[in-house]
Amino acid sequence: MEINKEDKKNIINKISEVLITMASKPSGFIGLAILIFHVILAISSPWFVPYDYKAINPSLMLQAPSADFWFGTDSLGRDVFTRTALGGRTALVVTFFGSLIALLWGGLLGIFCGLVGGKIDDVVMRIVDAFLSIPWILAMLLIVSLLGTTTEVLIPALGFFYGKGIVRVARAATHDVIAKDYILSAKARGHNNLSIIWNEILPNVRDAILVEGAMRWSWMLLGFSSLSFLGFGVSPPTPDWGLMISNARGLMSFAWWAVIAPIVGLSSLIIGINLTADAFAKALGIDRSTKAPV
């Protein structure tokens, strides 16, 4: 579908309208603020961090927070503030693109299954169910150990595993729409499936899928950090919250600062995304508290 000028204006209007509605409630405002803060931090941190993130200095091991080292130093004498500020970058990029991939394949496959129904739907959904029954972290470990831990591997792998749930949501949303007469009307006119998906179904299930995608983003962030924690995410010395927590957790009893900083970074981002997703859902008129997804 070609997008003409008027459509573009409409889309921009709609986005700004949704953003304003989101920010007008305290929870949405806080969520958006945290999310924007993290995004700005991730973009700008390389330019303002005070130390080199990989500079090891044994003489400065496990320093408590001070004027020189705001968040203290870790067991290798690296500045925790520097590493925390940089630690969200990989996670944010990997999970953002991962969620996009999850949205794309999960959403389209779900809509397709909902539309065609019958045997194809049965088979596809059983395959999705089978994948759902495999503990994703085991499967991820297998993939990562076979193909390595580069972002080129992690993004599509995470995207695949987190898209399965979106298939079900998109299919359920499509089922709500499919019984409506305007779909029947399009069928009776003789439109093909692709045109029905694009013109009739997508605009009506888009909101539900986007909200689901936003929720998946925060889950994926947690998943990605778990992988790092287990040593299968980013490889050292690249700073990453999961990895930092994993390295410092043994020293928690006497060097708490090395754990607290990445934990606050990770959990605030997840809370921010969650609040934003909820506010987004409410702004679009899909209230997750009353209508839980399948």
Partner 1 sequence: MSNNIQSVKNLSIGFKSQKGKEISILRNVTTNIKKGETVGIVGESGSGKSTLALAMMGYVKHGLFTMNGECLFNSLNLLDLSNNELEKIRGRKIAMIPQNAGQSLTPNLKIGYQIEEALKLHTNLNENERKNRISELLNNVRLPSPDVMALRYPHELSGGQQQRVAVAMALAGNPELLLLDEPTTGLDVTTQAHVLELLKDIAKDTGTSMVYVSHDLGAIAQVCDRVIVMYAGEIVLEGPVRKILKEPIHPYTNGLLKSIPKLSLEGLPESMPGAQPQPGHIGEGCSFYDRCNISDEKCKTKTPDLEFLSEIDTSVRCFNYKKVIINQNKNIQLKNLDEKNIENNEILSLSDVSISYAKQSFLDQLFNKLTDSNPTVKDINININKGETIALVGESGSGKSTILKSIAGLLKTKDGNINFAQNRKLSEDLKNRSSDDLRAIQLIFQNPDESLNPNHTVEQILSQPLKLYFGLKEDKLKKNIIELLEKVRLGEFYMTRYPRQLSGGEKQRIAVARAFAAKPEIILCDEVTSALDVSVQAAVLDLLKKLKDDFGTTYIFVSHDLAVVKAISDRVAVLYQGRLCEIGPSKNVYKFPSHPYTEVLLGAVLEPDPDIKPKLIAEDIVEEKPPEKGCCFQGRCPRILGDKCREEVPPWQVGENGNAIRCHIDIEELKIQQS
Binding site for partner 1 (CB under 8 A): 6, 180-182, 184-191, 199-200, 203-204
Q: How far is the CB of 260 from partner 1 (least distance, A)?
A: 43
Q: How far is the CB of 173 from partner 1 (least distance, A)?
A: 13
Q: How far apart are CA 153 and CA 159, in angstroms?
A: 10
Q: By C-beta, is 188 or 292 nearer to partner 1?
A: 188
Inter-residue contact 170 to 111 (CB < 8 Å): yes
Q: How far is the CB of 200 from partner 1 (least distance, A)?
A: 6
Q: How far is the CB of 209 from partner 1 (least distance, A)?
A: 14
Q: How far apart are CA 169 and CA 179, in angstroms?
A: 16
* 79: CB partners within 8 A, 6+ apart: 49, 50, 51, 53, 69, 71, 73
Q: By C-beta, is 136 or 206 nearer to partner 1?
A: 206
Q: How far is the CB of 47 from partner 1 (least distance, A)?
A: 43
Q: How far is the CB of 190 from partner 1 (least distance, A)?
A: 4
Q: By C-beta, is 24 or 44 nearer to partner 1?
A: 24
Q: How far is the CB of 210 from partner 1 (least distance, A)?
A: 13
Q: How far apart are CA 159 and CA 97, in angstroms?
A: 8
Q: By C-beta, is 189 or 291 nearer to partner 1?
A: 189
* 270: CB partners within 8 A, 6+ apart: 218, 221, 222
List phi, psi (to 5°) of 93. -65, -50
Q: By C-beta, is 143 or 178 nearer to partner 1?
A: 178
Helix residue spans in the chain (DSSP H): 5-23, 26-48, 80-116, 118-133, 136-147, 151-178, 181-189, 193-195, 202-230, 241-248, 257-283
Q: How far is the CB of 106 from partner 1 (least distance, A)?
A: 21
Handedness of CA 212, 214, 218, 221 (dihedral sign): positive
Q: How far apart are CA 74 and CA 58, in angstroms?
A: 10
Q: By C-beta, is 133 or 289 nearer to partner 1?
A: 289
Q: By C-beta, is 187 or 288 nearer to partner 1?
A: 187
Q: By C-beta, is 193 or 267 nearer to partner 1?
A: 193
Q: How many CB atoms lie within 10 A of CB 194?
A: 9
